[in-house]
Amino acid sequence: MIVYILLALMFFVGLYGIIAKKNIIKIIVGINIVGYASNLLFILLGYKWDGIAPILTENMSITCFVEKAVDPLPQALVLTSIVIDLAFVAFLAALAIRLFEKYGTFDIDKIRRLKG
Amino acid sequence: MNHLIILPVAIYLGAAFLISLLWRKDDKLAGAAAVSFVFLSAVISIISGIDVFTNGKMLYFAGGWEKPLGIVLMLDPLSSIFLIMTNVIAFFIMLYSTVYMKKYTWAPYFYTLFMIMLAGMNGILISMDIFNIYVFFEIASIASFILVAFGLKAEELEASMKYTVMSFIASTMILFAIALIYGFTGTLNIPAFMSEAAGLSPVHLWFLAGLLLSGFALKTALVPFHSWLPDAHSMAPAPVSAILSGMFVKVVGLYVIIRITTNIFITLPQIRVLLLLFGVLSMLFGGLMAYGQQNIKRLYAYSTISQVGYCAIGLGIGGYLGCLGVLMHFIAHAFSKSLLFLNIGAIEYMTGTTEANQLKGLNDRMPVTTLLGSTGMLGIAGVPPMGNFWSKLIIILAAIKAGYPGIAVLCIIVAVITLGYFLKLQRTVYYNRVENPVKKEAPKMLLFPMGVLTLLVFISGILLVPGIKEKTLDRAVSVMENFSYMDIKIGEKR
């Protein structure tokens, strides 16, 4: 249970970074943390304490395997979701560089030409 | 096994790869390749659509793995309508952008990104697996962020930044919902989840539905979640605005919301009240904000919020009339809004501005563009022969019949406001006199796609004619009204 509370804490730290911080780089770091929190949730859902890798060897019965092996599906999903987070962060970092070239600042309060 | 289902996605992904590999130095060849690839998948989607409308749904098991293990792809009348609309509109927008993108450098990258976005949109429509929907959703979204910032002007970068950060929050909500769905039920397949969902407590269901609904409502830009849309849609290049406003918002947002409310969370009909609330708010807010806009593209963007609100209202009301209204309004609005964005793009191409106070007397300068543009405006405002009139009428009738007379009155008021701001725009931009007008019409390749879309705006009401309606819209409505996965048995193989 404590793991899930820590996970929620991590998520809210990231969310705080996205919502409250004014610096684009800090927002990107917040996005990274939120991404890790959602990946960790997936991993925790499939994890078993003292579990084994989900590989069926010759001298292992099916029932033993089902009981002890961790669930491999969330791990496969997390791989995809890591790649998506990577795309987000890479694109935002490139965008931040371009924005700095145009506006000369990372402060989102000063990047405000669009109104209405 | 019918491989027609996966072909559009495969074609678009292949096209993106080929264009960026082979023709990245040659704008003309890249454009021709993009147009022909989109044409190919439009034809394929129409062929598979005819098959779906005559024989019912089409199933595909990715890689030949059956349902408990593999990923199920499905095409039913509802997704088939969206698929055909996406590819047909994308084809005309692609024709348009072969000329329009001459203003920009690196047009081949534009085509590559556009193909990736279309692959994502097509992928959402064929998926029957929640995580698969999420992946294609992200493919389409990330391509669209880059397309919004394609011009690299300061305002475009700012709009893209806002759009990306907001979308990240949406996708996090969706990912959390998916993780919890997997944790609660142990499956991500929509049919399998539906049979498991009956055993969940209402609290769990509400939590899941709330996360999914707010995530996808942010992509649909329903009102509490709308703030990115006016920036992103007004700053993007015109073809991108056209596909974003015309189809992207509906495929990525509305289609998935339709699936969520009518198909997945059947045991929770109360979430429709939320949609009704969002719909009324966005209809009013979008309409009122559009009234005061000076930038024409921004006005169109607010008008999109308002019109998507109508769709949400129809979905919130439900029933036969409500669902029919949603589909019809989505079709009519997709044609007319992409027409309007292409039209303002042509004006920008010739005059270099989209501000209403710098444009005057366009009727004397660009008569054909003016004619097509004002037809599109009257179309969205809902003047009788166009499809939008019938769809708004159906939604209003549905509201009265379901016992929401107040919402029906609001719908009528917003329809009048819509007509008001478009007439005001026409008077200040199109039909006033200037001295010594120089006649300079837009290139024919820009006018042709707009002309075809205008024709489609006019005849989209034909889908409601008895005889055609039973074969097309009614089948899709029956998917929304009483959906059953009973014919997708576990382990069944075609």
Q: Which residue of B145, B158, B178 is in closest CB contact with A91?
A: B145
Contact between A45 and B183 using a beta-carbon 8 Å cutoff: yes
Instruction: Give the whole-angstrom CA distance, residue B47 versus residue B43.
Output: 6
Nearest by CB to residue B135, choosing from A80, A92, A108, is: A80
**Contact B72/B321 with Cβ under 8 angstroms?**
no
B154 to A113: CB separation less than 8 angstroms, yes or no = yes
Strands (E), B7-134: 58-61, 72-75
What local confidence, expressed as pLDDT, does residue B485 receive?
62
On the question of pLDDT at B491 being above 70, the answer is no
**Cα separation, B169 vs B172, whole angstroms:** 5
pLDDT confidence of residue B346: 92
Q: Which of B145, B148, B172 to mutate to test the interface with A (most CBs of A within 10 A)?
A: B172
Q: Do B146 and A91 touch (CB under 8 A)?
A: yes
Tell me which of B147, B152, B158 to substitute to probe the interface with A (most A C-beta atoms closer than 10 Å): B158
Complex-level ipTM beyond the 0.90 threshold: yes
Distance from CA of A12 to the nearest CA of B (A): 12
Collapsing DSSP states into helix, strand and coil, what is residue B477? helix
pLDDT over 70 (residue B265): yes
**Mean pLDDT of all residues in B284-299:** 91
Residue B168's pLDDT band (boundaries 50, 70, 90)? very high
**Helix, strand and coil in chain A, % to nearest 5:** 70, 5, 25
Cβ contact (<8 Å) for B158 and A81?
Answer: no
- Percentage of residues of chain B with pLDDT beyond 90: 59
CA distance B299 to chain A (A): 10
A105 touches chain B (CB under 8 A): no
pLDDT band, residue B337 (cuts 50/70/90): very high
Q: Are B65 and B487 in contact (CB under 8 A)?
A: no
Q: Give every CB contact of residue B17 below 8 A, 6+ residues apart in sequence.
A: none
pLDDT band at B85 (very low <50, low <70, confident <90, very high): very high
Q: Which residues 31-90 of A have a C-beta within 8 angstroms of B?
A: 31, 34-35, 38, 41-42, 45, 73-74, 77, 80-81, 84, 87-88
Check CB contact of A27 with chain B, cutoff 8 Å.
Answer: yes
A35 C-beta neighbours (distance < 10 Å), count: 22
Q: Is A91 in contact with B164 (Cβ distance < 8 A)?
A: yes
Confidence of residue B68 (pLDDT cuts 50, 70, 90): low
- Per-residue model confidence (pLDDT) at position B493: 37
Nearest CA in chain A to B69: A73
Q: Is B204 left (phi over 0), alpha (psi -120 to 50) or beta?
A: alpha
- Which residue from B19, B146, B13, B34 is spatially nearest to B98, judged by alpha carbons? B34
Confidence (pLDDT) at B492: 39
Q: Is the pLDDT of residue A98 over 60?
A: yes
Report chain A's C-alpha Rg in angstroms: 20
Does the pLDDT value for residue B1 go beyond 60? no
Encode pLDDT of A24-59 as tens digits.
999 999 999 999 999 999 888 888 888 888 888 888
Identify the band that residue B494 occupies on the pLDDT scale cut at 50, 70 and 90. Answer: very low
User: Could you say which DSSP state residue B62 is in?
Assistant: G
- The fraction of chain A above a pLDDT of 70, given in percent, is 99
Q: Measured between beta carbons, which residues in chain B are less than 8 angstroms from residue A98?
A: 149, 152, 157
Question: Directed axis angle between helix B77-100 and helix B319-351, to 10°?
Answer: 10
Give the global pTM. 0.93
pLDDT band at B148 (very low <50, low <70, confident <90, very high): very high
CB-based contact B313:B394 (threshold 8 Å): no
Q: Contact, B130 vs B16, CB < 8 A?
A: no
Does the pLDDT at position B69 exceed 80?
Answer: no
Beta bridge partners of B72: B61
Which of B157, B164, B179 is opposite residue A38, by nearest beta carbon? B179
Q: Which residue would you say has higher pLDDT here, B112 or A58?
A: B112
B60 three-class SS:
strand
B183 Cα to chain A: minimum distance (Å)? 6
Residue B51 has pLDDT above 60, yes or no: yes
CB contact under 8 Å between B292 and A116, yes or no, is yes
pLDDT at residue B290 above 70?
A: yes
Cα separation, B225 vs B278, whole angstroms: 9
pLDDT(B143) > 90: yes
- A68-96 burial, b if ≥16 CB within 10 A, otherwise e? ebbbebbeebbeebeebbebbbebbeebb
Is there a contact between B172 and A38 if contact means CB atoms under 8 Å apart? Answer: yes
In chain B, what residues touch A91 (CB-CB under 8 Å)? 142, 145-146, 164
Q: How far apart are CA B96 and CA B352, in angstroms?
A: 17
CA distance A60 to chain B (A): 22
Kindly determine whether residue B160 and residue A95, on different chains, have CB atoms separated by under 8 Å: yes
Residues of chain A in contact with residue B138, where contact means CB-CB under 8 angstroms, are 84, 87
Which of residues B83 and A46 earns the better pLDDT score?
B83
DSSP calls for B391-415: HHHHHHHHHHHTT-HHHHHHHHHHH
In angstroms, the separation between the Cα of residue A59 and the nearest Cα of chain B is: 25
For the segment B106-132, the average pLDDT, to the nearest whole number, is 92
How distant, in Å, are the alpha carbons of B41, B84, B338, B346 from that of B242?
Answer: 19, 16, 4, 12
pLDDT band at B326 (very low <50, low <70, confident <90, very high): very high
Closest CB to B182 among A45, A95, A113: A45
Single-letter residue type at B257? I
* Percent of chain B residues topping a pLDDT of 70: 97
Query: Which residue did the predictor score with more confidence, B473 or B247?
Result: B247
CB–CB contact B172 A35 (8 Å) = yes
Contact B161 A111 (CB under 8 A): yes
How does residue B270 score in pLDDT terms, banded at 50, 70 and 90?
A: confident
Does the pLDDT at position B223 exceed 90?
no
Residue A53, sorted as left (phi over 0), alpha (psi -120 to 50) or beta, turns out to be: beta
Residue B449 tokens read as 């796609």
Average pLDDT over residues B39-51: 93
Q: Is the pLDDT reported for residue B129 higher than 90?
A: no
- Using CB atoms, which residue from B155, B157, B293 is nearest to A95? B157
Residue B34: both structure tokens together: 């993009």
Which of B:125-154 have CB within 8 Å of A?
131, 135, 138, 142, 145-146, 149, 152-154
Residue B490: pLDDT over 80: no
Q: What is the pLDDT of residues B376-419, one digit of tens each?
A: 999 898 888 888 999 999 999 999 999 999 999 999 999 999 99
- The Cα angle at residue B133 between residues B127 and B134, in degrees rounded to 5: 165
- Does A24 touch chain B if contact means CB atoms closer than 8 Å? yes
**Length, in residues, of chain A:** 116
Tell me the β-bridge partners of A113.
none
